[in-house]
Every structure is written in structure tokens, then in C-alpha cells.
Amino acid sequence: MSRVAIVGTGHSRFGRRTDVNVGELAFESVKQAIDETGVGRKDIRNVFVGSAGGWYEEPLPAVVVGEYAGLSGAGTMRVEAACASGSAALKAAYNSIVSGDGEVAMAVGVEKMTEVDTPTSVELIGRAGSYMWEFENYGMTFPAYYALYAVAHMNRFGTTEEDMSRVAVKAHHYGSMNPLAQFQKEITVEKALGSQVVAWPLKLYDACPLTDGSAAVVLASEGVAKELTDTPVWIRGVGYSSDTANLSRRSDYVGLSATVEAAKRAYSMAKVTPQDIDVATAHDCFTIAELMAYEDLGFCKKGEGAKMIRDGETELGGRIPVNLDGGLKAKGHPIGATGISMAVEITKQLRGEAGRRQAPTRNGIGLVHNVGGTGHYAYVTVLSRN
Amino acid sequence: MSRVAIVGTGHSRFGRRTDVNVGELAFESVKQAIDETGVGRKDIRNVFVGSAGGWYEEPLPAVVVGEYAGLSGAGTMRVEAACASGSAALKAAYNSIVSGDGEVAMAVGVEKMTEVDTPTSVELIGRAGSYMWEFENYGMTFPAYYALYAVAHMNRFGTTEEDMSRVAVKAHHYGSMNPLAQFQKEITVEKALGSQVVAWPLKLYDACPLTDGSAAVVLASEGVAKELTDTPVWIRGVGYSSDTANLSRRSDYVGLSATVEAAKRAYSMAKVTPQDIDVATAHDCFTIAELMAYEDLGFCKKGEGAKMIRDGETELGGRIPVNLDGGLKAKGHPIGATGISMAVEITKQLRGEAGRRQAPTRNGIGLVHNVGGTGHYAYVTVLSRN
């Protein structure tokens, strides 16, 4: 099978971006990615736009993004897998090149979430469970879904509220070193533990914010990648899977089976094991989600996620540093952009361009983990310098 | 490159479907496609759902469709290219197999549009131009966009209101033979010409309706396709392109450049010419769109679309029969489902299963033409018995 590399990256500032509309916001990343790659616009055969939509005024973001960036004429589609839409766009772009449909493709993720008021936000996110049954009938909102998982994990494995707070503290620590992050201030375990309860045991600092932002990558076939850059980062494996829309039909609430299956597929395709991963991003929409991800991705055994954060194994200097960009929690979570943003972070880590946040990358292998809904979708991507 | 075939088809009844929710509506097609193929659910590696959304209650249709159909666990994403979402899903499914990600994939298109009231419909469709400028600032709705094209075509080439009415009469004629069509009654040129003006020169009978409906196809790699069926229909070529979101930035209004480019790519990939096409579907959201499609697809020279309908060249017995299923105009246009519905029709035509509506298929080659927005996206797919 032909190989595909990330050859260019772009990333907007994340946060409340009332200064731009959705086309302009995407353009910030698209322009950087094109400039970094040095590729001509006409050479970009296909453009895949990851965006969940519903939060902002344009219902056809793909063509709006394309027009503003001077990419009209390319093959274009929008791709949606809830909060994993960015990873889905990356996968679709990867497939387009492997299947012979052009040598260069772009994946752009964009979301503009802060224009709507808070009740609307609660509804829009809450609908991303099973709307008809669990949101409409039972009034479940998104924190409530993840609170179910948190309670089950606490009950089964002895995970504590303090363990979850530690995830938030780590996120804010690295967010403070990321000039593109929405939150760039440190917090303490005490501050996190004392913050307002949203859906017990989850508190304000257990939850990621609503965010405006974009990210973009340019992908190229092996031959073209080597012409365009000396530091290609190869997409070695992509796994994706799905689970039921209704949480009530899940087998348990201590992990996401879609993540387990997606990881299995990605590791198999990349021919690596979890022990080979130097650095990772994990989908920490809530702090409990990051702890479950450690387990579901095979970084530790089931039930030992909390031990990893207690022992500092996922910090810089630890065994597998996770979310050195601040994660969804501190960097922010513009849902269509997040998967691409994660790929940008791991690409920079593997190129040795992460500055103060640089992890050692002995094996040259990194991992991106991106979840849609509460495990409705999961995408795992393995990136590699070789 | 490995070959991919359509090995199973499913199609719901189109119309006002208050009897089902979106998961149930999709299931009608998914079940037929699986039953016809005889493939196991666990063998379907990836499911691509074409749906524009915004019309119905579920914001994550892909997992809802997957759960109801027993397909949870497959790789899943929703794909959106406005009214070409179905073709985009078909392309994504095709790419997944060619790129080696599983031997069997499903593309499902579904939309449920009749739950919202008429003003909301006008807005939802109207937004599918350029929302910020042309809908919000100038009050353009969708009929108004296509009316611009109709006036320009009349002015440049002498196309008449009667020519457009002939397209509607043809659509209703074949719709009357299609038990799944939304409208199954014949009309006359006089009735079409005398119907209420929506946006001059377009009248009620120049416009397709709002529709609930679904369609599905199962795709397989060459090896598996030959095990599953004796009548595979091969995807020989897929071309897609895009144009500006703003109509004001288009070069002219007598055709869709995205269609011209998509067709060029599809013919090139399939190694066929327009003269090789036995039977086609063309995107007739408005009657003028079908006349422009004849020209943009190369079925005739630019400006001669009206002559084709006057001379009966696109009817049964004519040179290239078009929209023998009734087209968007009479069969209906559930926007996410339309591209897949077209592929189902051409597959049945190439298999010789179209009954009273069967076209002669001497070359065994058919074409699907599906447009998103007003040429924001265009997808052209060439299907073949060999």
C-alpha cells in the first residue's frame, strides 16, 4: 500500500473568536499549512472539512472554507463524526490519496461554538448522545453522560475525584506553555476540587470549554512528500469504530469499546504496540475520559488509569506523555477541529518542534485519540517519523 | 487499482413519511441492501451516511442509523456535500475499499425533510447558497438562485418556459411508473406552464418537492463482489469538483462549472466518452438544471439542452434516456439520499431490472450526476456492467 505523510500544518488561536467568521477562522490554519508546505493551491486535489456544524451560520462550511482559501475547484466534502469530525476528515483525506485520487489533499477542521447562548450550547452538545431517547425523554446532558462513566469507574476501580482533578491540573500546566491555547493559566488540585459541581462527580474543572478554532494539515503521497519536505510525518495506522447511539445499550460504563476496537485496528495496521508510543493526545472532553483512554488505548491495564496520573507517567519525563498541548481541557475543544489539532501537535512533537513542551521521541512514534459523542465514534491514528 | 462493485441495493418509498423516524427510514433501505447482498452485518467494515441534516431531530445520524440497523462497531462517519451528500458517501465508501480498509462497505443516504414548516424549509434550503451574503443580505432563496440560471439560459440560447415544462412532463411520466416515487401522476405541458410562479421563470412544476426517503448500496472489492453476486455493477469512474459559495463570483449562469469539471474527471477515470453512456440520472432539482446538465455532461453541445428535450432524445427510445425513475422532480429529493437513489436506479437499469422503465443498455454503461447547492459541489459517477 502506498504511504501518505503529513507535510504541512496550520493551527489557529483557540478561544472565543468573535473577530472572525467561520471562513476566516479556517483560513488562518489553511494559509499556514499551505505556506509551510509550499504547495500550490491547484495541486491540492481534494479538501475534506471536519465540522459538526449547527453552531454557526453557514450550513455548507466546506465550500465557504474552500472559496475563502482560494481552493474552489478541488473535490470537496464535509465530514462529521461529532467531536471526532477532525479525525474523520483526516481519514477521508488519507483514503483519497491511497486510493489514487490525487497526490495531495488537505484536511481542515473548524468549529465556531461561542456564538450561541448557554442553554442552546447545552442542547446542541446534549443532542450528541441519543437525542430522541436520552436527551429528550430523560433530560441527559453531556456532563451527565460522562458522570455515569465517572461514577462507574470510581465504584469499580477506586478512582477518586482528586485523580480526575490531577488530569485538569496537568492540562492547565501544559496549556500555560501553549500560546494558542484557550486557557493559559495554571490551576491547583484544590481549586479544581473546589469548583462548582456540574454533574457529580464532575465539576467545572473536569470539563473542557466551548471553543472557536481551526486546524489544518496537508497530506501527500510518498513521492510528493519527499519533494515537499525533509520532515514528513507518516500516517502509519488509522483505526476507527463506533458504538450504539443509546448509552443504555452499552455493555459497561468503565471504558469506551469504540476506543478499544479503534486502537486495536490502528496498532495492527501500524504494526506497533502501545509500548512503542512516545507521545500521545487523548480525548479529554472530561477528565474521566482521559483516564479511561489510558486504559482503552493499552497504555496501562484496565482500572489503572488513575495510577498513571498519580505516578506522573503521562507528564513530561513520564513513560507516555499525554496532551502536552493542554488537551481539550485547557487548549479548548472546537469539536470539528480537535482531531486535526491533535494531529498537528503530534506532528510537531515528532519533528522536534514543540519547544518547552517537547517530549523525547525515541521511537519516533506518536498517537492521536479522538472520540465522538460518548464513544459513539472513536478514531485512533498512529503517526511516525519513519 | 483494485475494482469496486455495487453488489446490493435498497430504496425506501419516497414522500411524506410521518410513519417512521430517521433511523427507521434508513433501515428500510439498509435491510433491503443487506438482504439482497446476503452479506453478514459483521462483514460490513465501514458505513458512510450521506445526510445534510438540520431537518430532523438527530444530529448524529450515522450512529443512530448504525445502531438501528445492527451495524454498531463498523467504522462510521457522516458525509455532507449538500444535495450531493449521497454521492459523497458513495465516493467515501469507494475510497475506503480501494485504500484497503475492508472488503465491504455500505453507503446510506437518508433525509427527513417534511417535519419542519414551510418557512423553515425555505430558510434551510436558502442557506445552502452563501448564507451570509446572498441569503441573509439579499434574501435569495433556492428557486431564486436557479431562476438566475434559467433567465441567463433563455437569454443566451433561446430556451423557453415550455422547454422547461417538457422536463417536468417527462419526469412525471416516468414517476407514474415508479411505485417508490413521491408523485405518481402524469401532468401536461399546459398544466406545468399554468402553475403558480415561484421565481420567474420557474413555476411550481419546475421545482422538485421536499421529501423524506432513504437509499443504500453495498460495495465490495472485486474478489468479494464475484462471490456475492452474478450481477456486479462496477464503479468505473468518479469525478467531483466544487465552485464558489457565492454565486456572484461565478463566471457565468448558463451552466455549472463544477459539473463540467466533475464529468471530465469521471470520464477520464472510466475511460469513456459521453457517447458511450446508455442511460443516466441528472440532477433536476429544477427543470432548468436538467437542461444545463445535458450540456455540462457533454450529452449535447452548450446551448442545445432544450433541443434534446424537444426532440425526445432523453426519453425511452431516445439517444440517452435521463431520469427514468422520475428524477428529483417526481420521484422526490430527500437531499442526503438522492445520490444513492440515483446509483440504485442506474444499477437496476444496468442489471436489466427496471421493468417498464427499462432502457436499452447496449454498452452496459450508465451515469449518475448529482449536484450540491447550485453547483457548489458536483459529483459524476460512471457505472458499468463490465
Burial class (CB in 10 A: 0-12, 13-18, 19+), B320: buried
Q: With cut-offs at 50, 70 and 90, classify the pLDDT of residue A251.
A: confident
Please say if the pLDDT value at position B357 is more than 80: yes
Q: How far is A136 from chain B (nearest CA, A)?
A: 10
**pLDDT (average), residues B85-105:** 97
Q: Where are the domains of chain A?
A: 4-116+210-228
| pLDDT at res. A306 | 98
Q: E strand or H helix at B143, and its extent?
A: helix B142-157
What confidence score (pLDDT) does residue A342 get?
98
Question: Angle A100-A101-A107 (CA atoms, 0-180°, nearest 5)?
Answer: 115
The set of catalytic residues of A is: 83, 333
Distance, in Å, from the CA atom of A295 to the CA atom of B53, rounded to the nearest integer, reads 34
CA B109 to centroid of chain Cα atoms: 10
Asked if A77 reaches chain B (Cβ–Cβ under 8 Å), the answer is yes
Q: Using the predicted structure, report yes or no on whether residue B348 has a pLDDT greater than 70.
A: yes
DSSP assignment of A49-82 equals EE---SSSS-S-HHHHHHHHTT-BTBEEEEEEBT
User: How many A×B Cβ pairs under 8 Å?
Assistant: 186
Q: Which ranges in chain A belong to alpha helices (H)?
A: 22-37, 61-68, 85-98, 118-126, 142-157, 161-175, 189-193, 222-228, 257-270, 287-296, 305-310, 327-331, 338-351
Query: Is residue B91 helix, strand or coil?
Result: helix
Residues B206-222: pLDDT tens digits? Answer: 999 999 999 999 999 99
In angstroms, rounded to a whole number, what is the distance separating the alpha carbons of residues A131 and B58? 6
Whether the CB-CB separation of B176 and B187 falls below 8 Å is answered with no
Mean local confidence (pLDDT), A108-131: 85
Q: Which residue has the higher pLDDT, A120 or A182?
A: A182
Q: Is the CB of A306 inside 8 Å of chain B's CB atoms?
A: no
Map residue B275 onto helix, strand or coil. Answer: helix
- Summarised one tens digit per residue, pLDDT across range B15-65 is 999 999 999 999 999 999 999 999 999 999 999 999 998 888 888 899 999
Mean pLDDT score, B334-341: 98
Contact A308, A273 (CB under 8 A): no
Length of chain B as a residue count? 386
Contact indicator for A258, A249 with CB cutoff of 8 Å = no
Inter-chain contact A73–B241, Cβ cutoff 8 Å? Answer: yes
Residue A223 clears pLDDT 90, i.e. is over it: yes
pLDDT of residue A54: 85
CB-based contacts of B174: which residues, under 8 Å, 6+ apart?
A: B316, B323, B324, B325, B326, B327, B330, B357
Write B302-307 long-range contacts (CB < 8 A, 24+): B302/B157, B302/B254, B302/B255, B303/B156, B303/B157, B303/B254, B304/B157, B305/B153, B305/B157, B305/B159, B306/B157, B306/B158, B306/B159, B306/B160, B306/B163
pLDDT at A1 over 70: no
Q: Measured between beta carbons, which residues in chain A are less than 8 angstroms from residue B99?
A: 1, 94-95, 98-99
Q: Cβ-count burial of B117 within 10 angstroms (0-12 exposed, 13-18 middle, 19+ buried)?
A: exposed
The DSSP symbol for A258 reads H
CA distance A332 to chain B (A): 22
- Backbone φ and ψ for B161, nearest 5 degrees, come out as -60, -35
Chain A residue with the nearest C-alpha to that of B2: A99
Residues of chain B contacting residue A136, judged by C-beta atoms under 8 Å apart: 57
User: What region, left, alpha or beta, does residue B11 occupy, with left being phi > 0 and alpha being psi -120 to 50 degrees?
Assistant: beta
Chain A interface includes B137 (CB < 8 A): no
What is the per-residue pLDDT across A63-74, written as a single tens digit (0 to 9) for each? 999 999 999 999
Q: How far is CA B181 from CA B15, B184, B326, B332, in A?
A: 7, 6, 7, 6
Q: What pLDDT shows up at residue A260?
A: 98
B131 compared with B228, residue with greater pLDDT: B228
pLDDT at A344 over 70: yes
**Per-residue confidence (pLDDT) for residue A138, from 0 to 100:** 77
DSSP B28: H
What is the rounded distance in angstroms from the CA atom of residue A202 to the CA atom of residue A153?
12
Q: Which helix (H) or strand (E) holds A381?
A: strand A377-384
Chain A: give the shortest CA distance to residue B113, in Å.
15
Q: Is the peptide bond before B201 cis (omega within 30 degrees of 0)?
A: yes
Query: What average pLDDT does chain B have?
Result: 95
For residue A324, give how far its alpha carbon lies from the nearest alpha carbon of chain B (Å).
28
ipTM of the complex: 0.94
Residue A325, C-alpha cell as written in the block: 498541548
Contact A208, A323 (CB under 8 A): no
Which residue among B172, B283, B333, B369 is the active-site one?
B333
DSSP H or E segment with residue B65: helix B61-68
Other C-beta atoms closer than 10 Å to the C-beta of B241 total 26
Contact criterion met (CB < 8 Å) for A128 and B59: yes
The kind and range of the H/E element at B27 are: helix B22-37
Phi, psi of B122 (to 5 degrees): -60, -40
Question: CA triplet A295, A299, A301: central angle to 5 degrees?
Answer: 50
Q: Which helix (H) or strand (E) holds B157?
A: helix B142-157
Per-residue pLDDT averaged across A187-192, rounded? 98
Residue window 151-210, chain A: list those with CB within 8 Å of chain B: none
* A 141-160 near B (Cβ less than 8 A): none
A80/B80 Cβ within 8 A: yes
Alpha-carbon distance values, A254 to A123, A292, A376, B47, B95 (Å) = 25, 7, 15, 26, 34
pLDDT tens digits along A273-300: 999 999 999 999 999 999 999 999 999 9
What is the pLDDT, as a whole number, of residue B1? 63
Task: Return the pLDDT at B179.
Answer: 98
Amino acid B276 reads: D
| Inter-residue long-range contacts of B137-143, CB under 8 Å, 24+ positions, other chains counted | B140/B247, B141/B199, B142/B285, B142/B374, B143/B198, B143/B199, B143/B202, B143/B207, B143/B286
State which of A33-47, A112-126, B126-140 shows the largest mean pLDDT.
A33-47
Taking an 8 Å cut-off on Cβ atoms, the answer to whether A72 and B132 are in contact is: no
pLDDT score of A348 more than 90: yes
Supply the pTM of this predicted model.
0.96
> Where does residue B11 rank: exposed (0-12), middle (13-18), buried (19+ CB within 10 A)?
buried
Rounded to a whole number, what is the distance in angstroms from the first to the last CA of chain B?
A: 15
pLDDT for position B288:
98
Identify the residue among B3, B101, B121 best suited for mutation to test binding to A, counting A beta carbons within 10 A and taking the highest: B101
The catalytic residue among B83, B208, B285, B300 is: B83
Q: What is the mean pLDDT of residues A215-236?
A: 97
Using CA atoms, how far apart are residues B194 and B204, in angstroms rounded to an integer?
A: 9
pLDDT of B134 > 90? The answer is no
Report d(CA A367, CA A263) in Å as an integer: 10
Mean pLDDT of chain A: 95
pLDDT of residue B379: 97
Chain A residues in contact with B245 by the CB 8 A cut-off are: 58, 60, 63-64, 66-67
Query: Which of A66, A127, A377 has the CB atom closest to B59's CB atom?
Result: A127
Nine cell digits for residue A334:
472546537
Chain A CB contacts of B240 below 8 Å: 46, 75-77
Judge: B243–A73 Cβ closer than 8 Å, yes or no: yes
**What is the spatial distance between Cα A128 and Cα A146, in angstroms, rounded to a whole number?**
12
What are B368's strand-pairing partners? B281, B381
Hey, which residues 209-268 in chain B have their CB within 8 Å of chain A?
238, 240-246, 249, 258, 261
Quote the CA–CA distance of B149 and B143 in Å, as a whole number: 10
Name the burial class of residue B193, with classes exposed (0-12), middle (13-18) and buried (19+) by CB atoms within 10 angstroms of its CB. middle
pLDDT at A119 (0 to 100) = 83
**Side chain identity at residue A29, one-letter code:** S
How high is the pLDDT of residue A135? 77
Which of A47, A99, A135 should we substitute to test contact with B (largest number of B Cβ atoms within 10 Å)?
Answer: A99
Torsion angle of the four alpha carbons A96, A235, B79, A119, in this order, in degrees rounded to the nearest 10: -160
CATH placement of domain B4-116+210-228: 3.40.47.10
Quick check: B60 and A373 CB within 8 A? yes
> Is there a contact between B131 and A58 if contact means CB atoms under 8 Å apart?
yes
Nearest-angstrom CA–CA distance, A275 and A154: 26
pLDDT for A24 equals 97
pLDDT band, very low/low/confident/very high, at A232 (cuts 50, 70, 90) = very high
- Determine whether B285 is an active site residue: no
Give the phi and the psi of residue B148 in degrees, each rounded to 5: -60, -45
Closest by Cβ to A81, choosing from B77, B127, B238: B77
Query: Chain B contacts of A59, Cβ < 8 Å?
Result: 52, 54, 82, 124, 127-128, 131
Which one of A21, A44, A76, A251 would you mutate to disrupt binding with B, by most B Cβ within 10 Å of its Cβ? A76
CB contact under 8 A, B127 and A59: yes
Give me the residues of B, 16-55, that contact A with CB < 8 A: 21, 47, 52-54
Strand partners, B47: B76, B106
Quote the CA–CA distance of A41 and B366 in Å, as a whole number. 33
Distance, in angstroms, between A170 CA and closest chain B CA?
Answer: 31
Q: How confident is the model at residue A369 (pLDDT cuts 50, 70, 90)?
A: very high
Interchain pair B241, A377: CB under 8 A: no
Best A65, A87, A94, A101 member to test B by mutation, with max B CBs in 10 Å, is A101
% chain B with pLDDT above 70: 99
Residue A141, pLDDT score? 85
Q: What residue in B sits closest to A85 (Cα-Cα)?
A: B77
Which chain B residues are closer than 8 Å to A259 by Cβ?
Answer: none
- Residue A15's pLDDT is 98
* B115 CB-side CA count, 13 A: 14
Interface test with B, best of A41, A63, A130 (most B CBs within 10 A): A63
